[in-house]
Amino acid sequence: MRIALVTETWPPEINGVANTLRHWAGGLLERGHRIQLTRPRQGHHDRSRIEVGGLEECLVPGVPIPGYRGLRFGLPVARALRRNWARFRPTIVYIATEGPLGMAALRVARRLGIPAITGFHTRFDYYSRHYRLGWLEPAIRRVLLRFHNRSTGTLVPTRELADKLMEQGFHNARVVSRGVNTQLFNPQRRDGELRRAWGLPDEHTPVVLYVGRLAPEKNIALAVSTFRHMQQRTPELRFVLVGHGPHEAILRRENPDLIFAGPRVGEDLARHYASSDIFLFPSVSETFGNVVLEAMASGLAVVGFDYAAGREHIKSGINGLLAPLGEENTFEEIAANLAQAPTQLERLRLAARHTAETLDWSHITDQLEALLYEYALPDRSPSTEEDCHATA
């Protein structure tokens, strides 16, 4: 297949969407498919790469997204898309984001008669609640509903989300789950030197970890209040936060004893996971939550809510702990109890790793490839090798 992938986020940007797309694209390229990637330019030195290992990059202008440092909306460059697709002749279009670029891509694909599927990766409707814009939630949902229902199908990460979207009027939601790199995220990366740098009194003192944006939509306030609740019973605990975001400055000011590690990637991120013990996942606005699988693969006991990745892969009390969705007092209590139960903690950590070992990305590529074939038109003639056009 020749797959036109349109997204407003891509590595090295750090977020769950970029991470998922990187794994999806890598798996499809390994199977011999070709991908034309259209995305916003990430900086002045960012350049298009033509046919590197089957991946062709076409960069378009973009504008910064308020509150999301380093991320950009792609401009609706419809003419550039038509020109590039006339040359590349995609079998199918996958649109990962619902911004101006994604909307333009859907319009162009429909006009050219190319099947276009969309991805529901982010709950933008729910995010409005955390920025005092809750009154906009119905309008945002209507925009998302119109966008996704004009596509051939919408890919979502869990059956729970597919059912919820169908109840809200979304059509043709199909499930493609998420995987985890168990070679990278591995308990063997535990680093005693890093733990000593965090000021632990001994090897047996648990480290509590949070990985993600330090932002209201991630319910970061609950992560901090939960740690304080845990700390009342286990004073020697340490809390490490990996990531950045709009609440970082105030969190640092109000919590000088917490360890702010900043953004981490690759083996460095894996080392931070594996050197910790308990993972707090307080968000209630996720479509999935890739960090849950990364934590489980690293051998951490996850404390989360019963939805998204937690509901999909955690059996509470067996390989992690789940609180009913939205019950914050229960979330805090089960985390505090876990910090005082070393035998239970060790059992959950071992079981979490065992579960993650069954979630390799290759199985996810099987699901994705099958759906792409199902939606795709018959194969067309090969494209010619020309430069990409990234002007509107």
Where, residue-wise, is CATH 3.40.50.2000 in the chain? 2-179+360-375, 187-356
Q: What is the pLDDT of residue 226?
A: 98
> Are 198 and 240 within 8 A, CB to CB?
yes
Q: Contacts for 133-137 with beta carbons within 8 Å, 24 or more apart?
A: none
pLDDT in tens, the chain (392 residues): 999 999 998 998 888 899 999 999 999 999 999 999 999 988 667 666 655 679 999 999 877 766 566 667 788 899 999 999 999 999 999 999 988 999 999 999 999 999 999 998 875 555 545 445 554 667 777 889 999 999 999 999 999 999 999 998 999 999 999 999 999 999 999 999 999 999 987 788 899 999 999 988 899 999 999 999 999 999 999 999 999 999 999 999 999 999 999 999 999 999 999 999 999 999 998 889 999 999 999 999 999 999 999 999 999 999 999 999 999 999 999 999 999 999 999 999 999 999 999 998 988 999 999 999 999 854 543 443 444 555 44
- Name which CATH class applies to 2-179+360-375: alpha beta
Residue 41, amino acid? R
d(CA 121, CA 10): 13
The C-alpha angle 191, 197, 199, rounded to 5 degrees, equals 115
* Separation of alpha carbons 376 and 34, rounded Å: 14
Output the pLDDT for position 71.
67
So what's the pLDDT on residue 180? 95
The confidence score (pLDDT) of residue 41 equals 87
State the burial class of residue 168 (Cβ atoms within 10 Å of its Cβ: 0-12, 13-18, 19+).
exposed
Q: Are 259 and 238 contacting, i.e. CB atoms less than 8 angstroms apart?
A: yes
Domain 187-356 part of CATH 3.50.50.100: no
Question: CA 45, CA 62: separation in Å to the nearest integer?
Answer: 14
**Does residue 240 contact residue 271 with C-beta atoms inside 8 Å?**
no
d(CA 290, CA 182): 13
Question: What is the pLDDT, as a whole number, of residue 252?
Answer: 97
The DSSP result for 315-331, as a single string, is: -BTTTBEEEPTT-HHHH
